[in-house]
Chain A
Amino acid sequence: MRTNNNSGKVFAVLAIGVAAIAILSLFAFDSVLSGASSPSTNVIASATVNSVCLMSISNTAIDFGLVSPTVSTATSNIVAIIDNGGNAPANVLVAGGNWISGSSNFYVANTLWNPTSASAGVGNSLALYAGLASLVDTLIQIPAPTLLIPTTSNNLYFGVGIPAGTPPGIYTQNIVYGYNCNGGGATAIATNTVATVNVPSTCFIGVSTNTINFGTINPGANVPTNHLVTVQDPGGNIAANIMVDGYNWQSGSNSFGVTNTLWDVSTDVTYLGNALLLAPSGLTDTHLQTPAPTISNPTTTNNIYFGLGIPSGAVAGAYTQNIIIENSC
């Protein structure tokens, strides 16, 4: 019984509460409905949306890796230029500084840019940056973003060629990116981006002549060690040791030894010098060097001289020999 009375009271309280809520809601709804007919004040808002470009770049560092002198990389290092929610088209502008490594440097124009990925040596030379006015219009356009496509972008590709004789080292270059928004003036996007290239020590070899004609020589006779071959390093950046060896003289089935050929680091008026040894195991260090080329002197040389003596009793014939001259660094 007591329980029935308590539940009855609870039910009564709940019923009263629901009724009150219903009545209050009715009043609130009624006031909303009648609002249209009651007097009110209209506020007209207006705004002007500017034409803007909100530009950024995808990466502030380019690393070309290990590139030797006289070698060019493919124009394939990519940087994306991005409009993050603007509403106007923009053209990409670019310029840069010279490559620097300590006291060594080479010119900015050795960096190439291109609107598409390209093979080595293909592209446009980067201009030297000297203020916003020096930024070059790449004619690469970043389309205007829209509500449906709020971010747009386009790519710029870079490559580098290392000049002959560039000293070894890690070189860095500053690249400046800019844009002109909707045909306006130049504005910088990023001015502190860095490109890096590591130039290793490298040597090359070239020779001034493919043949030495010793002429006609009698058995037992010889010619002076004065036949010049100029050994070159056309574009490296480090001194190289000159090494020589050779093969036996051959004429059909007849031959005589390689050691009858002499070499020397200076010209001789007589048949003097060091005997050429049999290749490949006889490769000999002449202790002569082709000096390290430089950017201002990209090809260096040194001279080596050869002479020949015919051994007594050598069979008559037209003999030939291979002489091998090598640079080693």
Chain B
Amino acid sequence: MVFSIEKEMRVIGLFAIFALFAIPSLAHAQIGERAGPLQFNVSIGGNETIPWTIFNNGNSTVYFVTYVGALQQSDNQITPTIVLMPVNGSIAAHSSIDLNITVYMPAQNQPGRGSWSTILQVIQTSNQTASGGSAVIMAGLAKAMDIVSKLPPPTTTTIPTMITQSESIFPLGSAAIAIVVALIALGAAGYMLSQHKKRTARKRARKAPAKRARRRPAARRSSARRSRTPRARSSARTTRRRRRKR
């Protein structure tokens, strides 16, 4: 409670002068709020919570109770539910508290249709005992609140992938298995064919010198034998070795 200046000066002289300069520090607790209505835009079937901050800039603890005004039915829509927590409590000196207001929007409502308004109240409860014929004055704060509904946000659905035992061993699938087997078979066939060709070519190469040797006249053959130098013999050996390797 903040006494009026006139009462202070009538009661005590020096103390009144001191009180005049010290009123801010002697002031009873005062509650405050930030300006502006609370705007709720609530998804159908969902809820939204907004804090309402109440300050105590006085030097003593403030005790309070809260009230939520009634909502009017709107446009054939079901009235949403409002929950304000805490419903009562205290705020220490020079501190603040957040009162959480939650609005629950019925799922049956249509998005964008219907709007609701009401007043929230925080009343500073007093420990003043009124005597007969007295009214107790209680200070409070009022906050306008507006509610509209909206479509819920789109949800993404993840389709789980089923992995069977067989797929875990052969992850490529049956078609891929067939392709791999075919490639292996083709490769093996090609290798075998190339080996056969090489063997055939070597056989032919071995037969051809023998045939040419049989066709050559004896003198030529013997002179060829006589004229074979060590170098020629070595060259011939090398050639035979190469043919064998092939």
Chain A residues at the B interface, C-beta cutoff of 8 Å:
68, 70-72, 120-121, 164, 200-217, 229-230, 232, 234-236, 238, 243, 246, 251, 261, 279-281, 283, 306, 308, 317-329
Contacts and interface: CB of A to CB of B under 8 A. Distances in A.
Q: Which of A216, A235, A328 has the most CB of B within 10 A?
A: A328
B126 interface: yes
B69 interface: yes
B119 interface: yes
A44 B185 CA distance: 82
Interface stretch (B26-34, B163-171, B193-201, B220-228): B26-34
Interface in B1-34: 1-4, 24, 27-28, 30-34
A70 B57 CA distance: 6
B136 A210 contact: yes
A215 B137 contact: no
A319 B119 contact: no
B70 interface: yes
A211 B134 contact: yes
B198 to A, nearest CB: 27
A324 B2 contact: no
Contacts of B28: 206
B138 interface: yes
Given A211-B130, A283-B121, A328-B143, A71 B96 contact: yes
Given A216-B133, A325-B138, 20 more contacts: A120-B94, A164-B24, A164-B57, A201-B34, A203-B33, A205-B140, A205-B141, A206-B28, A208-B1, A210-B136, A211-B135, A213-B131, A232-B30, A234-B24, A243-B142, A319-B133, A321-B136, A323-B135, A326-B121, A326-B140
A12 B132 CA distance: 131
Contacts of B27: 206, 234
Contacts of A283: 69, 119, 121, 142
Contacts of B142: 243, 283, 326-328
Interface of B: 1-4, 24, 27-28, 30-36, 55, 57, 67, 69-70, 94, 96, 119, 121, 123, 126, 128, 130-144
A207 B133 contact: no
Contact of A280 (B69, B132, B136): B69
Nearest to A236: B32
B243 to A, nearest CB: 20
A317 B1 CA distance: 27
A205 B34 CA distance: 12
B70 to A, nearest CB: 6
Nearest to A204: B32
Given A202-B32, A280-B69, A326 B132 contact: no
A71 B136 contact: no
B98 to A, nearest CB: 13
A280 B1 contact: no
Nearest to B23: A299
Nearest to B119: A283
B229 to A, nearest CB: 13
Q: Which of A68, A204, A208, A210 has the most CB of B within 10 A?
A: A210
A137 B237 CA distance: 103
Contacts of A321: 130, 134-136
A213 B121 contact: no
B38 to A, nearest CB: 12
Contacts of B144: 328
A217 B139 contact: no
A205 B224 CA distance: 133
Nearest to B118: A281
Contacts of A201: 34-36
B133 A217 contact: yes
Contacts of B57: 70-71, 164, 204, 234-235
